[in-house]
A and B are shown apart, each in its own frame.
Chain A
Amino acid sequence: DAGVTQSPTHLIKTRGQHVTLRCSPISGHKSVSWYQQVLGQGPQFIFQYYEKEERGRGNFPDRFSARQFPNYSSELNVNALLLGDSALYLCASSLKGELNTGELFFGEGSRLTVL
């Protein structure tokens, strides 16, 4: 069975640009969460979606947005990129909709570099 898949795996952008990252959860999982992992630190919670509705939001500016589609895949969008947005963006899926509980299955991430 396929795990959580994310695309692209690596990308380079310049300041001020916009980026869209994509995630497909494990088949049957209805909850998708997004995390930002800056080098040398633990992942930080950005969003959780369940059944296409936002269920939680971390302490990130409005430049960050996300959505979940009817097939439960998800996109994370970041506008007006800053150098500090350079990080590994992780998507995680789970069966349960309760915020961040249950076993989270992480993808391998999209590494974003902002120049």
Chain B
Amino acid sequence: GESVGLHLPTLSVQEGDNSIINCAYSNSASDYFIWYKQESGKGPQFIIDIRSNMDKRQGQRVTVLLNKTVKHLSLQIAATQPGDSAVYFCAEKTEKLTFGTGTRLTIIP
């Protein structure tokens, strides 16, 4: 069956450094991927999305890379700030939206 998984459940990064959060998916029919950020006590917040006909998309301080050959997705956050501390989820869309387990990102001051 389809699944979305993350390589690392936790990630600690020094403030100002770049963060890379990885995600693997198994359904080759997925055509749309989204990254969400969820802070403690809040609902997930949309960060950036990418369609399967693209391999890279950039936003403000964030970049998503999609490698369809190995079914891998990554979120890069540049110059991390304390406010970036949160749980990050990747989600894939087929006939429904399927979220991964999440990676907890901690920014070390």
Contact = CB atoms under 8 A, between A and B. Distances in A.
Interface stretch (B13-21, B57-65, B68-76, B92-100): B92-100
Interface residues of B, number: 21
A56 B91 contact: no
B97 A106 contact: no
Given A41-B101, A42-B100, A42-B102, A101 B93 contact: yes
Contacts of B89: 42-43
B64 to A, nearest CB: 14
A109 B97 CA distance: 18
Q: Is the interface of A mostly helix, strand, loop or mixed?
A: loop
Interface of A: 4, 35, 40-45, 56, 58, 90, 92, 99-101, 103-109
Interface of B: 4, 32, 34, 41-46, 49, 89, 91, 93, 95-102
